[in-house]
Structure 1
Amino acid sequence: MPEPSSPTRSRRGRFFRFAAAVVVLCAVAGYLVVQYVTGGAGDPGCRVVSADGKGATYEFTSEQAVNAATIAAVGTGRGLPERAVTIALATSLQESGLRNITHGDRDSLGLFQQRPSQGWGTKKEIMDPTYAADIFYKHLVKVDDYQDLPLTVAAQRVQRSGFPEAYAKHEPDATLLAAALTGEAAATLTCDGRQATAQATGPDAVRSALVRDFGRDVLETTAAEVGGKATPTPTPSASRSGERTVTLPVSENTSPGSKRSLRERGWQLAHWAVANASALHIERVSYAGRQWTAGNTDSRWRAADTKGTSGAAKDADAVRIVTAP
Structure 2
Amino acid sequence: MPRTASTTRRSRFLRVVAAFAVLVALAGYLAVQYLSGYKGAPRCTVGSSDGGEGRTYELSPEQAANAATISAVGMTRGLPERAVTIALATAMQESALRNIDHGDRDSLGLFQQRPSQGWGTTEQIMDPVYSSGEFYEHLAEVPGYSRLPLTVAAQRVQKSGFPQAYAKHEPDATLLSAALTGRAPASLTCSLSTGKGAEAAAPGDAAEVRADLVRAFGKGVLPSAKSAGAASASTVSVPVRSEDEATSGRGWEFAHWAVARAGTLRIEEVSYDGRIWTSDTGWRTERGKSAADAVRMRLAQ
Report how far residue 59 of structure 1 moved: 0.3
**1:275 maps onto 2:251 in alignment:** no
Runs of 4+ in 1 over 4 A off after TM superposition: 195-200, 236-239
Give 2:264's aligned amino acid. Answer: A
**1:48 maps onto 2:41 in alignment:** no
Specify the SS of the correspondent of 1:110.
Answer: coil
How many residues end up aligned between the 2 structures?
Answer: 257
| Inter-partner Cα distance in structure 1 for 2:219 and 2:211 | 9
Give 1:72's aligned amino acid. Answer: S
Counterpart of 1:218?
A: 221
| Inter-partner Cα distance in structure 2 for 1:236 and 1:75 | 30
Matches within 5 A, 1:30-45: 43=41, 45=43
Specify the SS of the correspondent of 2:85.
Answer: helix
| Inter-partner Cα distance in structure 1 for 2:100 and 2:200 | 19
Counterpart of 1:287?
A: 272
Aligned CA RMSD, in angstroms, stands at 2.4
Percent identity at matched positions?
61
Give 1:192's aligned amino acid. Answer: S
Contact persistence 2:242–2:293 (CA under 8 A): no
Give 1:244's aligned amino acid. Answer: S
| Inter-partner Cα distance in structure 1 for 2:66 and 2:55 | 21
**1:190 maps onto 2:189 in alignment:** yes
- Structure 1 residues 244-253 or 66-75, which shifts more? 244-253
| Inter-partner Cα distance in structure 1 for 2:127 and 2:88 | 16
Contact persistence 2:181–2:249 (CA under 8 A): yes
Give 1:278's aligned amino acid. Answer: G
Q: Kindly tell me: are residues 58 and 278 of structure 1, through their superposed partners in 2, closer, same or farther at Cα, counting changes over 3 Å?
A: same
| Inter-partner Cα distance in structure 2 for 1:112 and 1:236 | 40
Contact persistence 2:202–2:300 (CA under 8 A): no
| Inter-partner Cα distance in structure 1 for 2:81 and 2:230 | 30
Report how far residue 205 of structure 1 moved: 1.4
**1:303 maps onto 2:285 in alignment:** yes
- Structure 1 residues 112-121 or 205-214, which shifts more? 205-214
Contact persistence 2:203–2:300 (CA under 8 A): no
Report how far residue 45 of structure 1 moved: 0.9
Q: Deviations for 1:108-130, whole angstroms, at most 9, x for unmatched residues?
A: 00000000000000000000000
Q: Of residues 204, 208, 217 in structure 2, which corresponds to 1:205?
A: 208
Q: Kindly tell me: are residues 212 and 145 of structure 1, through their superposed partners in 2, closer, same or farther at Cα, counting changes over 3 Å?
A: same
Report how far residue 197 of structure 1 moved: 7.6
Q: Kindly tell me: are residues 132 and 236 of structure 1, through their superposed partners in 2, closer, same or farther at Cα, counting changes over 3 Å?
A: farther
Counterpart of 2:169?
A: 170
Q: Kindly tell me: are residues 54 and 192 of structure 1, through their superposed partners in 2, closer, same or farther at Cα, counting changes over 3 Å?
A: closer
Report how far residue 201 of structure 1 moved: 3.1
Q: Of residues 228, 231, 236 in structure 2, which corresponds to 1:235?
A: 228
Counterpart of 2:297?
A: 321
Give 2:214's aligned amino acid. Answer: V
Counterpart of 1:248?
A: 238
| Inter-partner Cα distance in structure 2 for 1:108 and 1:70 | 20
Report how far residue 253 of structure 1 moved: 9.7
Counterpart of 1:230?
A: none
Report how far residue 236 of structure 1 moved: 8.1
Contact persistence 1:236–1:247 (CA under 8 A): no
Report how far residue 148 of structure 1 moved: 0.3
Give 1:79's aligned amino acid. Answer: G
Give 1:88's aligned amino acid. Answer: A
Contact persistence 2:109–2:131 (CA under 8 A): yes
| Inter-partner Cα distance in structure 1 for 2:46 and 2:229 | 28
| Inter-partner Cα distance in structure 2 for 1:144 and 1:70 | 25
| Inter-partner Cα distance in structure 2 for 1:59 and 1:156 | 25
Report how far residue 248 of structure 1 moved: 1.3
Report how far residue 295 of structure 1 moved: 2.3
Counterpart of 2:34?
A: none
Q: Kindly tell me: are residues 193 and 167 of structure 1, through their superposed partners in 2, closer, same or farther at Cα, counting changes over 3 Å?
A: same
| Inter-partner Cα distance in structure 2 for 1:149 and 1:236 | 47
Report how far residue 43 of structure 1 moved: 3.9
- Structure 1 gaps, min length 5: 1-41, 222-233, 255-259
Counterpart of 1:138?
A: 137
